[in-house]
Structure 1
Amino acid sequence: MNTHEPPESFTAVHEPDLFTAVYEGDEDTVVRLLRSGVSPESADAEGQTALYAAAVGDAPGVVRLLLAAGADPDRLSAGADAPLCGAACGGHTDVVRALLAAGAAPDLEEEYGFRALTWAVRRGCAEVVRVLLAAGADPDLPGPSGEFPLVAAARRGSPGCVRALVDHGARGRDEALAEARRWAGLDVAAELRAGLEAAHGPGHEYVTRRWEEEPGTVTVEVSLLREGRPGAGDDMQTGHAAIVDLLAAGGGTAGAPGR
């Protein structure tokens, strides 16, 4: 499954090339190529569109240029990946705003049943969640596993995501509260290591990093090492206790049926 990661490198087939300019964030060259007749809907040999590449690469200026030239904000890259989902997964708020302003459907479903809100919640991108909800994203559309976004946000440990969803009347508060209470009593790093071990087998070395990304919470990232280099990883936030306080106190404006 595509996790909306930008490519690590790109080898140009010819010069000048739109994708080279997109990956380098070279807006002047993008403008020149578009004016010379290069299509804003260009795709590479794998079917990846220029707009999607700019979206996952967090190049809002290039995204706006392609959209202004006629790129379809909802065209699925390689028939599977939505630019809005790629931007939301990466937490690229300015790109998300540009795509929505150009008419991107906030609830567009890409391959495997993912939507932009699903990705933003899973990655703990609270500002992106707020922008999507303000643009009309449905706070109750389930992700691929069938759970409400509020439950996924509580598991992620992002009070900002939870608060934004609650303020838009999101359903599933009882389930979300139970999930936050469960995780508040767990060692997040140990749980992440256990998950990686279950997926990749025992006997690996791990590296754990912690940093404050959302005020008031710590993000914990555990990387599995292969030959001394990260081979797989996962991360979560640690705001579960704050989420318990928020939901137990009835914070926000939620009160919709299905709590």
Structure 2
Amino acid sequence: MDRRQSAELCTAVDEWDEDAVGRLLRGGASAESVDEDGRSALYLAAVGGAVGVVRLLLAAGADPDRLSEGAEAPLCGAACWGHTEVVRALLAAGAVPDLEEESGFRALTWAVRGGQVEVVEALLAAGAHPGLPGPGGELPLVAAARRGSPGCVRALLAHGARGRQEAHAEARRLLAVDIAAELRAGLEEAYGPGHEYVVRRREEEPGAMTVEVTLWREGRPGAGNSRQDGHSVIVGLLEAASGAPG
């Protein structure tokens, strides 16, 4: 593999430059090119949400399931950031919905943890298993209940996800929790006390506001975390589904 061509292609991918990507591929650059960190061009495009670039690379023969050197899968990268059209393009090209990264994460795990409802629906429609646990053995339905996303819970229930009792208990626990305070406590545990925190709230899906807490260092945003507050809706959904096993 020509290193210069690989570097040029990955740069063009990072810049979402479809014309340059197409020109380099026609000029002999490999669709399986990797950057200096071992990340594939397809992974970079998927994480960035560059659906046009993703389609060019797939058409040129990029393997939709190829793991980068860090054992990162394109489908997982797209799912994590909520790039629904990229997820659909990868699935249409034959990406395995339940491909597991070295970390134990699958695309559905990432999507549920991020409250990415459309991605969850696309993965389940493509055959992703609704009951495969993520790292630590947590079931997707429990993760969706913790996230506070009614849409993710609905999608999983519609596909027969198990773990309803555990998910119900988690949703009920979070009804009495100050979400912003819990997120901040988690960041303080990871990064230590004494930082400034900014809390933002926004509506991303009906029935749930997203609460985002960001740690600031030296006047700049750093680590952050978010959760939705749809736990009361989720309790109702799970209680309505309680007549079925699980």
Aligned match of 1:72? 63
Aligned match of 1:97? 88
DSSP 3-state at the match of 1:212: strand
Q: Specify which of 155, 176, 188 is matched with residue 197 of structure 1.
A: 188
Q: Specify which of 143, 146, 150 is matched with residue 152 of structure 1.
A: 143
1:27-49 deviation line (CA, Å, top 9, x unaligned)? 12111111111100001111111
Q: Specify which of 27, 32, 46 is matched with residue 55 of structure 1.
A: 46
1:30 aligns with 2:30: no
Distance 2:144 2:237 in 1: 13
DSSP 3-state at the match of 2:39: coil
Aligned match of 1:227? 218
Q: Which runs of 4+ in 1 moved over 2 A?
A: 13-16
CA contact (8 A) 2:7 2:34 kept: no
AA matched with 1:126: V
Aligned match of 1:10? none
1:89-125 deviation line (CA, Å, top 9, x unaligned)? 0000000000000000000000210000000000000
AA matched with 2:241: G
The unaligned stretches of length 5 or more in structure 2 are none
AA matched with 2:184: R
User: What does residue range 128-207 of structure 1 map to in structure 2 within 5 Å?
Assistant: 128-207=119-198
What root-mean-square deviation, in Å, do the aligned CA atoms of Structure 1 and Structure 2 show? 1.6
TM-score of the pair, normalised by structure 2: 0.95
Aligned match of 2:9? 18
Distance 2:188 2:11 in 1: 38
Distance 2:7 2:238 in 1: 54
TM-score of the pair, normalised by structure 1: 0.90
CA distance 1:35–1:163, shift in 2 (3 Å): same
AA matched with 1:220: V
CA contact (8 A) 2:168 2:238 kept: yes
1:65-112 deviation line (CA, Å, top 9, x unaligned)? 100110000000115100000000000000000000000000000021
Superposition deviation, residue 204 in structure 1: 1.5
CA contact (8 A) 2:131 2:162 kept: yes
The unaligned stretches of length 5 or more in structure 1 are 1-12
DSSP 3-state at the match of 1:231: strand
DSSP 3-state at the match of 1:177: helix
Percent of aligned pairs sharing the same letter: 73
1:175-210 deviation line (CA, Å, top 9, x unaligned)? 001100111111100111111111122221111011
CA distance 1:101–1:15, shift in 2 (3 Å): closer
Q: Specify which of 233, 237, 244 is matched with residue 242 of structure 1.
A: 233
Distance 2:171 2:26 in 1: 52
Distance 1:182 1:61 in 2: 43
CA contact (8 A) 2:76 2:106 kept: yes
Distance 2:189 2:60 in 1: 47
AA matched with 1:89: C
Higher share of residues assigned helix: 2
